[in-house]
Structure 1
Amino acid sequence: MKSFAFLDVMIFRDKFFSRDSFDHMNENKRLIIHLDSLPDINSVRDLERYNYRDYGRFAVLRDGKFWVQTLHSSYPADTETGWFWAVDRSERLLVSARGAVMDGESLFTRKKYVLACLIEELVKKRILARPRAISTDW
């Protein structure tokens, strides 16, 4: 039988941080979304170094579907436009373009629906609590 210990560590880390932060996030009823320049990171050590609580990637695929994953992920081959997301220790949601700066700014203008999909998925994954109010800082 093959050992997949690295998956157990990932699952434990996700559940541990998600549950811990979810309880804390209940006190914070306003979610602040900040456009930033996020690094492309792939390890828990990098999470700690950059002081992020959680991190991942999200994208719109060529068929129009929405895709989101956490730290240990890669963009699908059929990615049309991709972005990075992170939750910092201040409970802000940080977003960043994968490519051009205009891709990041589009999340706050013509592609607001993508940001809405991201928040919905992060709530489903218990990374964020459902916010009562959202403000943007870009």
Structure 2
Amino acid sequence: MVNKKARGFTLIELLVVLGIVALLLTLAVPRFFPSVDRSKETVLAENLRSTRATIDQFYGDTGAYPESLEELVEKKYLRAVPVDPITERSDSWLLVPPEQPARGNVADIKSGAPGNDRNGKPYAEW
């Protein structure tokens, strides 16, 4: 009977493989995170655009602004209050009242996210 030597990887082989994986990660990860931020900003811009259009449509239909974003959901103008992709919450929106408060509470909507976008503009000014 022939005694077969147990086969496996040596420590050097494992270290070389881990070094290659680490090198590949250092190239891929810095490209990944900016694309995630860019995607969140794109979704934020679209949520703001569509919600503002819905508020304008509500005003055109009723002659007054909604009292809250939930009213837009209750009256079927929106399926649900949109999520702010930066804060990942639907209750962080900054609601801007109209110039004439007797005509409702929500004339515009802004992001309540802290910080700035990739260009340095605060999210609250979007």
Assess same fold via TM > 0.5.
no
TM-score by length of 1: 0.27
Structure index of larger Rg: 2
Bigger proportion of residues as helix: 2
User: TM-score by structure 2 length?
Assistant: 0.29
